[in-house]
Each structure stands twice: as C-alpha cells, then as structure tokens.
C-alpha cells in the first residue's frame, strides 16, 4: 500500500522492510516508510506524520542502527537522497544530510582541502555525523562544523550552531529529540596540494581496511570508548573475540565490531551486545555504553 504525499511523487509505503537499509542487514518493517528527495518533500512527510499522529524515526545510511526484528511503528523517513553540495573559496562547504561522509572526504581531497581525511572510513551520512558527533583518530564533527540546518516537528527550518548542539563524545542534543538534520556547513582548510590530501585520505582508508572487518555486515563500532581504555581492548581482554550468539559474532580483527555472519537476527546482535556488557562489567567493574542506536522492541534471551 502506498500513499502519495506530494505532487512531486514522494510516497509513504506501508510495511516496508528496513533490513537492506541498515549496514547490519537486519531489522523488521517500518509501519510507514518515505524517502524524500527535497526539503519540500521532507516537510510534506513531517506534516503527514503529524496529521496522522505517527511517531517519526530518522534513517540515514543505517550504519549506526540496530532495528528490532519486530520493526518500527510510525513513519521512518530516510534522508539519504538529500544530496546537494556547495563550495566557497574560503574552504566552506555546505552539504545535504544524505551525502555519505566518505564521498565528501574524497570530494574535498580532490580540491586540496584538509580537515576531513579522518572521515573517509566512516560509513554514515553527513546528517548522521552531526547527530552523533562522528569522529576518528582524535578528530570529530564538532571541530569543523560551522552550523547545521534542521527541520523542526512543526515543519519550520532552523539553523543551529555547534554550541546549541551541546556536542559530547559521540553524541549531541539531536540524538534525543525529533529534529531532522537537512544540511550542514563545514569549515575546511583550502590551499593544500590535492595529490597530498588524496594520498593521506587513501592511506587512512587503507589503514582502516587492514585493522577493521569490512568483509561482513556490521554497524561499525558498537560501543563508545570508556577512556582511558578502548572498548575493543576491554572486550578482547575479556576473551570475547570470536564469541557468537546465533549468527552474530564478535569480530576477530577488531573486538568492538559485531558481524552478521549470515542469517543473524537483530535479537542475536542485541543479546550479544548485552552479553558483552555483562562480561566486561563483571571483569572490569565498568559498563560499556552502546554507540549504536538500538531502536524498537527487544527481549533478552
């Protein structure tokens, strides 16, 4: 069943499977699903959900999500098709929320602009990077963000500064509310040799590929790093590398990754997350906090 939301063709689809839209490749259906390609279509989606009394779930690249096998109620709005980009000569770049961070990293590298090399291996979108303050190698989104535009629940657009976003390690104020990132403006460093920036970007990506498992579906890092130790070190030292629940496995190459070895369910992954937390807490008296967003209804087994 489909309902047309705008004259431009954006539709809401009923009982739409979400598994192939997440990097874990698990999860049940959305009660309703829409994939707007413009701000007007996005506003129409929000307006329709409000009129119908439906909760809204934001979905970008699906790389930081674990969605229940039971699916999600309300309207899931996928913003990955919002893709415009604008450059200015001072190193500023304004990018739509759906642009993959890796794509953006290569685009600015080709211009000889420094500041985004660290993001080339991040599997998420610009919108997701703003919401969770994505980062790597000691750099993160807040250090380069000038402002972000969000769509409020009432359909209005608002521009927020980094101070208003209350950034912390791998989170921002947006992670806990219903505003939707539509675009972000970053300040980068122009004037570098494009060949050098491209080489640094390629080296960063190669380093990630040799130290992190990319051969099977995962969500990237599962847990936040509880300083001074890394989550991966704590999990490895707890003897959990290779541990499996169903077809979900702690990666041998990097213990802060959980892999879908083929046929894993969201419940397998959820129960493995809880098992890891329990073992690490017993051994180190420390509770690992998930970096992955866990959405929907789950039951411990």
Residues labelled catalytic: 170, 221, 291
Describe the crossing of helices 194-211 and 101-110 by its angle, rounded to 10 degrees.
150
Name the DSSP letter for residue 20. G
Helix, strand, coil share (%) of the chain residues, nearest 5: 30, 25, 45
Asked if residue 90 lies in contact with residue 191, where contact means CB atoms within 8 angstroms, the answer is no
Token reading at 266: 């969201």
Which is it for strands 248-250 and 139-140: parallel, antiparallel or unpaired?
unpaired
Token reading at 297: 């209804």
To which residue do tokens 């380093």 refer? 207
- 155: alpha, beta or left? (left if phi > 0; alpha if psi -120 to 50): left
């Amino acid at each position: 069943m489909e309902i047309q939301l705008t004259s431009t063709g954006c539709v809401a689809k009923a009982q739409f499977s979400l598994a192939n839209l997440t990097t874990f490749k698990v999860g049940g259906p959305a009660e309703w699903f829409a994939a707007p390609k413009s701000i007007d279509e996005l506003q129409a989606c929000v307006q329709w959900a409000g009129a119908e009394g439906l909760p809204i779930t934001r979905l970008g690249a699906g790389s930081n999500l674990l969605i229940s096998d039971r699916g999600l109620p309300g309207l899931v709005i996928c913003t990955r098709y919002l893709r415009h980009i604008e450059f200015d000569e001072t190193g500023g770049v304004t990018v739509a929320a759906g642009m993959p961070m890796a794509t953006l990293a290569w685009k600015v590298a080709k211009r000889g602009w420094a500041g985004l090399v660290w993001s080339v291996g991040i599997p998420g979108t610009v919108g997701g990077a703003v919401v969770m303050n994505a980062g790597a190698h000691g750099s993160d989104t807040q250090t380069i963000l000038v402002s972000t535009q969000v769509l409020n629940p009432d359909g209005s657009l608002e521009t927020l500064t980094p101070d208003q976003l209350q950034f912390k390690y791998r989170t921002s104020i947006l992670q806990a509310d219903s505003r939707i990132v539509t675009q972000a403006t970053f300040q980068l460093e122009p004037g570098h040799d494009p060949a050098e920036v491209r080489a640094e970007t390629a080296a960063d990506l190669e380093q990630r590929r040799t130290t992190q498992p990319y051969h099977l579906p995962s969500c990237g890092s599962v847990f936040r790093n509880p300083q001074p130790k890394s989550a991966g070190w704590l999990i490895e030292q707890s003897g959990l590398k290779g541990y499996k629940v169903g077809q979900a496995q702690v990666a041998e190459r990097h213990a802060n990754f959980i892999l879908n070895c083929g046929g894993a369910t969201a419940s397998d992954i959820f129960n493995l997350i809880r098992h890891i937390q329990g073992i690490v807490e017993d051994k180190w008296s420390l509770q690992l906090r998930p970096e992955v967003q866990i959405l929907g209804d789950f039951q411990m087994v």
